Amino acid sequence: MKTILAALALSTALVLPGLALARPVTLTTTLNNYGGNGAYLAFYVSDASGAYMGSLWMAGGKSKYYGHLTDWHRVTAGDLSQINGITGASVGAGRRLEITLDLADALFDAGYTLHIDAAVEDMRESPNEVAVPLTTDGAGNSVRGRRYIADFNYSM
Amino acid sequence: MIRALHRWPGLLAFVLLTILAVSGAALSVFPAAERLSVPQAAAELNVAELAERIHAAYPGVEQIRRAPSGKVTVYWFDQGAPGAAVIDPATGQGVSSADPNPIQRWLTRLHRSLFLGDGGRIAMAAGALAMLVLSVSGAILVARRAGGWRRWFARLRGPLPGRVHVEIARVAVFGLALSAATALWMTASTFDLLPDGGATQALPTEVSGETGVALAAIPTLSVVPVMELRALNFPYPGDETDVFTLKTDGGTGYLDQGTGALLGWNDLTVWERVSETIYMLHTGQGASLLGLVLGLMALGIPVMGATGLAIWLAGRRGRPRIRGNQPAGKAETILLVGSESGSTWGFAATLHRTLSAAGQRVHVASMAAFDSLRYARGQRIIILAATYGDGDAPASARGFLDRLAGLDHAPDMPLAVLGFGERSFPAYCAFAEQVVAIAGEKGWSMLLPFDTIDRQSPQEFARWGHRLGAALDIQLELIHEMVLPETQTLRLISREDYGSEVQAPTTILRFSMPGASLWQRLMGKGFERFDAGDLLGILPEVSTVPRLYSLASSRKDGFVEIVVKKHPSGLCSGQLTALEPGDTVTAFIRHNPVFKPGRGSKPLILIGAGTGIAPLAGMIRGNTRHRPIHLYFGMRHPASDYLYGEDLARWQKDGRLAHLATAVSRGEQPNYVQDALRAEGAELSRLVRDGARVMVCGGRDMAAGVAGVLAELLAPDGLTPIGMKAEGRYVEDVY
């Protein structure tokens, strides 16, 4: 189990004017035993129209592999400044990643969607592995990913 | 310097490199196995056709990937469930699972990071760097040992570990250097130290907004052969802004999902191309045959590590501690040592001990430490010098010649030089000779004439000691005790006596094989591995100095046979020739790899006189494959000392000996083996031209005479015994 505490880990795009209020949100991601090397995971948010808003976390340290997180790479054009200071290690098969972030209140119940892209060496890329709307009611609900994520939820 | 640069990284990285090599060799098999096992696409198949087939079989297809081995993998979603399979390009249908091979994955992680993440990657990269340093320094050492880069593949001589080490190295070094250099590049790339990351893709912003183009109607796909395909990504269902993404060997392109038009294209950057080529060279993915070759070469690493360790240990073991060494400024006798493997240090220690016991103050140092200004009370300098390779300075004498040549005038104390070497090498004692030559140019006065010791002979060393004692006016008995191998007891089975009528009493002694322990059997140690031409060391009673005799039999024969001539005052020969069947001696095997017939079917010219017949007879006895052997044998009188006379006649009859010529030195027309050679000169030079190998065994005068005659006979063909020695085609066993 990994617990990562980030005091203010919002990328600049998410710090909108007037978003002074924030609360700690814990993202818990458990991977299934897919039988491969550590997974790279990109956590990011899009708005109601589907446009990229900002990144929350990047699990995986080597930028040369970020291209395999295809959706994230597509919407950010691989811009490393999007994840400056919010990267960690990749997550092994069967392991759990827990990230606690201070997220702006305005992100919830406003049509924003949290996406996770996943990629594993020599295995299929899984963009949009998880896509969940950010709502106060949705907190604590478990979601299953498409290929690698056995269980994902966010709690406040 | 180069030597240290080879030794220390080698010793330190031995374990790491062994893990790297063995895992790398195991991994090298996978690309080849994959190449052979997966169904290959037909050469004329294009991507559009392949994509159609796959789309028909897997309507939810998301991505098609093609590995350099030709393996085509399809990833799809079927009602929200992901799937993947390796497919047959001919049908589009799945043939096997796309999951990575767990063994290959385990090996890969071990190979690149020892399962230790980035720290392990850095450790393995350090291993690769050590390998690169070892390859370069090793290559320089091989060239130096062989006598130049052009003689890279010259025949090797010397002890077995060294030969095995170099034999493997000079083939494998190319592959190892390539694997190491590419590994370093890949590590640098992994850690983002190289600008070879994928170019930031300029995604098309304008799309038609339509969907549903037929794959066959996309012109770009129908012109790309499957052979060049790397990946084809399908647009997300329901996302009309998405596009087809096509990756080929040339670059990446985007295709409109409504019109099929090519919306943009990015070529691979030069850096990406270089990195991909390097990846291919290292992993063998896309070059499976090269991968197998590199894997095979990598297997040389554990062997080179073990032999390298053996060479290093032998060098250390051979160098004894000098007790009571005097400071350079206080000693009367300065003893300088130029040693390669350490054996010359043993002689220096003996000389130091004996001189000290005679009341001398002696300073022992390496020749590299030579400094004439430090020897304030020095009265003489004695140099004991071995030779490295083709006449180079041995390890502990580096820089000596330059320093000597740089002196204004020779030191005003006399010099004695003793060279150590093996006569079978073309550059016998060549370094010691250079020392003498430069000392002569400098006008350095000599205490003793230059002398040499062949094959660490304790007897020759003792004789030289007498001469040194005479020069110093002291009684000097140099008793050099070699580091003896394990000895065993041999029991005499039979003896045959010859030559007493011609004042050359000679006996062929045949001993039974001693029993061997399981360890000796497994390791081929002791008497479990020997051939005619190897040496039998005999420890005479009341002496610790062994005498060496050439073996006239091999392990296969099932007995141990030597030929001994009784010397009037010889301690060992006296004891041996007095043995009766049932008596025992203490003995050991000393391998003599230089004096062997070698493999091959080229003719052998064996030349010997007297007891020199022993190894030659053993080789003929073992010649069951009927290689053409021509024997020239000199004796005193056929009625008295015709050693192996009956055997030779029998061997000639059954084809083991092709031709026999004898020379008889007593009688009406005294004839020496040189005369026999000259009489058949035309035939001999023809044999040598055809690649025959010459082996000479006998006394020193006879060997010199034979070399002289052969030099005359071969001169018209532009061949010389010295040149043939350098090629390893002319070998001597001289005593």
The helix-helix angle for B300-317 and B2-27 (nearest 10°) equals 150
B477 inside domain: no
Chain-centroid distance of CA A74 in Å reads 15
Do B17 and B128 belong together in one domain? yes
Quote the CA–CA distance of A133 and B725 in Å, as a whole number. 85
Q: Are residues B189 and B204 in the same domain?
A: no
- Residue among A61, A64, A74 whose CB faces B197 most closely: A64
Q: What is the rounded CA–CA span in Å between residue A83 and residue A77?
A: 12
Q: Note the pLDDT of residue A14.
A: 53
Whole-angstrom distance, CA of residue A117 vs CA of residue B672: 92
Is residue B193 classed as helix, strand or coil in its secondary structure?
A: coil
> Which residues on adjacent β-strands are paired with residue A119?
A40, A125
Pick out chain B residues at pLDDT < 70: 1, 80, 147, 157-159, 197-205, 315-319, 341-342, 389-390, 424-426, 482-485, 518-525, 543-545
Q: Is the dihedral of CA B438, B440, B443, B445 positive or negative?
A: positive
Residues B128 and B172 in one domain: yes
How many Å apart are CA A32 and CA A99, to the nearest integer?
18
Which structure tokens are listed for B590?
């000393």
Q: What is the largest CA-CA distance in chain A?
A: 45
Cβ–Cβ < 8 Å for A31, A94:
yes
Side by side, which strands form the sheet with B629-635?
B659-664, B629-635, B604-609, B693-698, B730-734
| Residue contact B82–A70, C-beta within 8 A | no
Query: What's residue A11's pLDDT?
Result: 45
pLDDT one digit per residue (tens) for chain A, 156 residues: 333 433 333 444 454 444 457 788 999 999 998 888 899 999 999 998 888 999 999 999 888 889 889 889 888 888 888 888 889 999 999 999 999 988 888 888 989 999 999 999 888 888 889 999 999 998 999 999 888 999 999 998
Helix, strand, or coil (residue B182): helix
Nearest CB to A64; choose among B62, B100, B192 = B192
pLDDT tens-digit profile of B488-507? Answer: 889 999 999 998 888 889 99
Q: How far is B100 from chain A (nearest CA, A)?
A: 7
- By the 8 A CB rule, do B395 and B424 touch? no
- Secondary structure letter of residue B207 according to DSSP: -
Token code pair at residue B532: 């005619």
The residue of B200, B272, B278 whose CB has the most chain A CBs within 10 angstroms, and thus the best one to mutate to test that interface, is B200
Provide, as residue numbers in chain A, all residues whose Cβ is less than 8 Å from the Cβ of B82. 124, 126, 146-147
Q: What count of other Cβ atoms lies within 10 Å of the Cβ of residue B193?
A: 10
pLDDT at B593: 76
Per DSSP, helices labelled H in B114-218 are: 117-146, 160-190
Locate the chain A residue with the closest alpha carbon to B78.
A146
The Cα-based distances of B686 to A45, B658, B682 in angstroms read: 89, 15, 6
Chain B residue whose CA is closest to A121: B100
**Counting beta carbons within 10 angstroms of the beta carbon of residue A118, is it exposed (0 to 12), middle (13 to 18) or buried (19 or more)?**
buried
- Report the distance separating Cα B682 and Cα B716, nearest Å: 11
Question: The CATH number of the domain where B616 resides is what?
Answer: 3.40.50.80
Chain A residues with CB under 8 Å of B117 CB are 89
Whether B46 and B128 map to the same domain: the answer is: no
Same structural domain for residues B613 and B644? yes
B100 closest CB neighbour out of A61, A67, A122:
A122
- Which of A70, A77, A124 lies closest to B200 in CB terms? A77
Of A61, A63, A124, the CB nearest to B84: A124
Question: Per the domain annotation, does B111 fall within a domain?
Answer: no
* Number of domains within chain A: 1
Token pair in block for residue B710: 């052969």
Structure tokens at B379: 């009265």
**Chain B residues with beta carbon closer than 8 angstroms to that of A62:** 190-192
DSSP annotation of B46 reads B
Q: Are residues B158 and B298 in the same domain?
A: yes
C-alpha to C-alpha distance for B540 and B544, rounded to whole angstroms:
7
Q: Would you call B311 exposed, middle or buried from its count of C-beta atoms within 10 A (0-12, 13-18, 19+)?
A: buried
Tokens of B112: 């690149």
Tokens of B51: 């994509």
Chain B residues whose CB is inside 8 A of the A123 CB are 84, 98-100
Provide the 10 A C-beta neighbour count for residue B60: 17
**Inter-chain contact B200–A78, Cβ cutoff 8 Å?**
yes
Task: Indicate if B707 and B636 belong to the same structural domain.
Answer: yes
Of residues B82, B198, B236, nearest to A147 (C-beta) = B82
ipTM for the complex shown: 0.76
Three-state SS annotation for chain A: CEEEECCCCCCHHHCCCCCCCEEEEEEEEEECCCCCCCEEEEEEEECCCCCEEEEEEEECCCHHHHHHCHHHHHHHCCCHHHHCCCEECCECCCCEEEEEEEEEHHHCCCCCEEEEEEECCCCCEEEEEEEEECCCCCCCCCECCCCCEEEEEEEC
Boundary residue ending a domain (B557, B590, B623): B590
Question: Residue B63: which of A122, A124, A147 has the nearest Cβ?
Answer: A124
Question: In terms of residue numbers, what domain contains B527?
Answer: 488-590
- Return the structure tokens found at B111: 């190979």
**What is the chain A residue with the closest CA to B197?**
A64
Closest CA to B333 of B447, B459, B481, B431: B447
Alpha-carbon distance A31 to nearest alpha carbon in chain B (angstroms): 15
A132 has which bridge partners?
A114
Please tell me whether residues B447 and B378 are part of one structural domain.
yes
Task: Look up the pTM and report it.
Answer: 0.61
pLDDT at B187: 92
Whole-number Å distance between alpha carbons of B592 and B612: 15
> Between the CA of residue B289 and those of B28, B182, B281, B549, what are the distances in Å?
9, 17, 10, 49
B200: chain A residues, CB-CB within 8 Å: 77-78
CATH of the domain at B360: 3.40.50.360
What values do phi and psi take at B190, rounded to 5?
-60, -40
CB B634 within 8 A of CB B678: no
Residue B503 within any structural domain of the chain? yes
Residue B261: Cβ within 10 Å count: 16
Cβ distance of B201 and A78 shorter than 8 Å: yes
Q: Which residues of B touch A78 (CB under 8 A)?
A: 198, 200-201
Interface of B with A (CB under 8 A): 62-63, 75, 77, 80, 82, 84, 98-100, 102, 105, 109, 117-118, 189-192, 196-198, 200-201, 203, 233, 236
**Do A146 and B80 count as a contact with CB atoms less than 8 A apart?**
yes
Chain B residue with the nearest C-alpha to that of A36: B100
Q: What confidence score (pLDDT) does residue A12 get?
A: 45
Q: What share of chain B is helix, strand, coil (3-state, %, to 5)?
A: 45, 20, 35
- Shared domain for B173 and B208, answered yes or no, is no
Q: Out of A35, A67, A128, name the one closest to residue B102 (CB).
A: A35
Task: List chain B residues with CB under 8 Å of A73.
Answer: 201
Measured between beta carbons, the chain A residues lying within 8 angstroms of B285 are none
Q: Determine the residue among B34, B62, B116, B232 to mutate to test chain A binding: the one whose Cβ has the most chain A Cβ atoms within 10 Å.
A: B62
- Residue A109 is encoded by which pair of tokens? 């119940």
Decide if B98 and A124 are in contact by the 8 Å CB cutoff.
yes
Assess whether B342 and B425 both reside in one domain: yes
Q: How many separate domains does chain B show?
A: 5
Q: What is the DSSP letter of B388?
A: B
Residue type at B659 in one-letter notation: H
Residue in chain B lying closest to A80 (CA): B200
Instruction: Give the closest-approach CA distance of A73 to chain B in angstroms.
Output: 9
Q: Which residue of A has its CA nearest to B203?
A: A74
CB contact under 8 A, A64 and B189: yes
Q: Print the domain residue range for A113.
A: 2-155
Give the SS3 label for residue B219.
helix
Q: What's the pLDDT score for residue B224?
A: 92
Q: Quick check: B100 and A36 CB within 8 A? A: yes
CATH number of the CATH domain containing A13:
2.60.40
Q: How many CB pairs under 8 A join A and B?
A: 52
Mutation to test the A interface, candidates B75, B106, B246, B279, most A Cβ within 10 Å = B75
The answer on B546 and B608 residing in a single domain is no
- C-alpha separations of A139 from A54, B396, B399 in Å: 20, 77, 79
Burial label for B403, CB within 10 Å (0-12, 13-18, 19+), is: middle
What DSSP element (H or E) covers B513? none
Q: Are residues B359 and B386 in the same domain?
A: yes
Q: What is the pLDDT of residue A1?
A: 36
Mutate to test the interface with B, among A32, A40, A64 (most CBs of B within 10 A): A64
User: Cβ(B178)–Cβ(B254) under 8 Å?
Assistant: no
Residue count of chain B:
735
- In this predicted structure, what is the pLDDT of residue B389? 67
Q: Is B446 strand, coil or helix?
A: strand
Measured between beta carbons, which residues in chain B are less than 8 angstroms from residue A125? 63, 75
